[in-house]
Each structure stands twice: as C-alpha cells, then as structure tokens.
Amino acid sequence: MPPDWTRVGGYGAAALCAVYGSMKLAQALGANALADKDPLSPELHERLVARDPLFVASHWVLAGVAVVGVVVALATVRPWGVAVPRRLLLALAWAAGIFMIARSVGVVGFGFVPDALRLAGVVEVPAEHAALARELALWDLLLWSPFFLLWGTCWTTAAVRLRRVS
C-alpha cells in the first residue's frame, strides 16, 4: 500500500508548533531568539525588547499553547487520536489553519499585503519609526508571513485529511 502523503499536514503542523513553541520558550527564558524581529508597533516593540513582564508571560502562554498544538496536530494522524472527539479536532485544526493563513495574508494586521504596502510607501509610517517599520516589514515579509502560511497550510491539510478519513 502506498504511503498516505496527506499525513504530512498533521506532522508538519506538529513540527512547526514545536519550532514556534521552542522559540517562545527560549524568549520566556531570556533569549533573544528573533524577539526583536516581531512585527509590532514601536511602543510594543520597545516593551518586548525591554522584557516587559506582560511579554514574558505571553511567551510562557504561547509556549504552552504550542505544546497543546503539537498534541492536537499529532492526534489528527496518530492512531491514539481516535480517542479525541473528531469534531473537536476538526474545529481546532480548521481554526488554526484559517487563522494562520489569514495572518500570513494580512487580515490581522501584518502579512504579505500590509508589509508590501509599507515597503512600497503606500502606508505612511511616522518618520521617527520609518527605519524600524521597514526592518520589521522585511522580516515579516521574508520570514514570519511565509512561516505562518506554511503552518496554516499544514493545519488545513490535516483538517481535510481528518474530515476525509472520519
């Protein structure tokens, strides 16, 4: 029997959750780990770099959510996943996939479209923050948006497979 390539979505989502969670855990523990490249407003960016307690707490929460994401993603492809209600798995996989794809496109503020508009000068940025805005838009355009697009595609592939085999 040929391998089921649709399982790649679940394993890919789990792997990307682990990568993202590891980065957030490293940030929670004090490492930079690309924290200064997060696309945020200048005020929030300063708070992030200064290790504001709210951001440190958010890194711990996101690391925990990523662990849950690994388990959910693996539940879509592993035999023990049948113990988890299918509707719950489907809802979580679809929600994660749609949110991440929307984030990569720019529906939630940053993404391919807003970054391109910022870099093209269509979206005005205060002069005192222009260099930072350009740098963060480049990082988002070249790293974060493709990462979230891939991650969202993995989640939606896992959801499609799960719906098909249910």
- Those residues whose C-beta lies under 8 Å from the C-beta of residue 18, and which sit 6 or more positions away, are 66, 70
> How wide is the angle at C-alpha 20 spanned by C-alphas 17 and 22, nearest 5°?
105
* Per-domain residue ranges of the chain: 7-165
Per-residue confidence band for 16, with pLDDT thresholds at 50, 70 and 90: very high
Task: Write out pLDDT tens, residues 55-80.
Answer: 899 999 999 999 999 999 999 999 99
Distance of alpha carbon 13 from alpha carbon 44, whole angstroms: 28
- In this predicted structure, what is the pLDDT of residue 130? 86
* Stronger pLDDT, 38 or 102, i.e. the higher one: 102
Task: Write out pLDDT tens, residues 140-152.
Answer: 999 999 999 999 9
